[in-house]
Amino acid sequence: MKLVSFNVNGIRAILGKGFAEAFHSFDADIFFIEESKYSEDLHLVFPFEAPGYETYWTVSKVRKGYSGVAAFTKKKPLSIHYGLLDGKYDEEGRVITLEYEDFYFVGAYVPNAGDGLKRMDFRMQFEQDLLEYFKFLEAKKPIIYTGDLNVAYQEIDIKNPASNHNNPGFTDQERNAFGNLLSKGYTDTFRLLHPEEVKYSWWSYRFHARENNAGWRIDYFLVSNALKEKVQSAEIHNDVFGSDHCPVSLEIDLPF
């Protein structure tokens, strides 16, 4: 089974930058996108349609052109859930869960701590609520978790760790929260297979950051430890353009 995650930084914007070609070239079983910035009524057709895929999406209800995620899947899930427990955070269109026979697929656009860390409390509450949600799901079956998780976990995951310390996405609080999640029984699949490789998934639009490969690794696939022996490949596709992020992928030996 092949899975892909891509923060597109605006679905309408990226459609003019070769997104359809990239989407089809992956031939993923599930393709998840973050930061769609889609604001229209949920009953309308999503701006991108993929033949052969079921499409599920959610949008921000509190601010137009903000957040939003979507999942394209070749197989109709057993159930679809938006947000965390009791739908929390769906007002910002942040999480979709697809249930299959052998696993839950959870895709998320994790809140950014914001300029001046003004949303740090909100971000830390999200992390706590995510743990509770995962505990609820894990009682039934293991989890594949993906998305823009808005944290560079280790110094190897960021070009300039010293100068970025305490910037959003590289604070001690966010890194500790990510480490705490891993300690609860989850594996970072890219680091599992590429323990020393330096590769990034996001670059600022400023200072020619992508040209200079001054990036951050903030897009992930995590799996429940029960699934880690089934991981076959985990890659960062920094040859795919169109956004300030690039896609990440996971191949895992699970029936679909």
Catalytic residue among 53, 56, 104, 148: 148
Catalytic residue among 38, 100, 109, 186: 109
How many angstroms separate the CA atoms of 155 and 21, rounded?
33
Pairing of strands 54-58, 30-34: unpaired
How many angstroms separate the CA atoms of 25 and 168, rounded?
33
Going through the chain in order, the beta strands assigned E by DSSP cover 2-7, 30-34, 54-58, 69-73, 79-82, 95-99, 104-109, 143-148, 186-188, 202-203, 215-216, 219-224, 231-236, 248-252
- Start-to-end CA distance of the chain, whole Å, equals 6
User: Which residue, 9, 174, 8, 34, is CA-closest to 92?
Assistant: 34
User: Which residue, 173, 135, 136, 133, is CA-closest to 153?
Assistant: 173
How many angstroms separate the CA atoms of 7 and 109, rounded?
8
User: Which residue, 219, 204, 131, 130, is CA-closest to 167?
Assistant: 204
DSSP reduced 3-state for 54:
strand
148 has catalytic annotation: yes
CB contact at 8 A, 41 and 15:
no
Catalytic residues: 109, 148
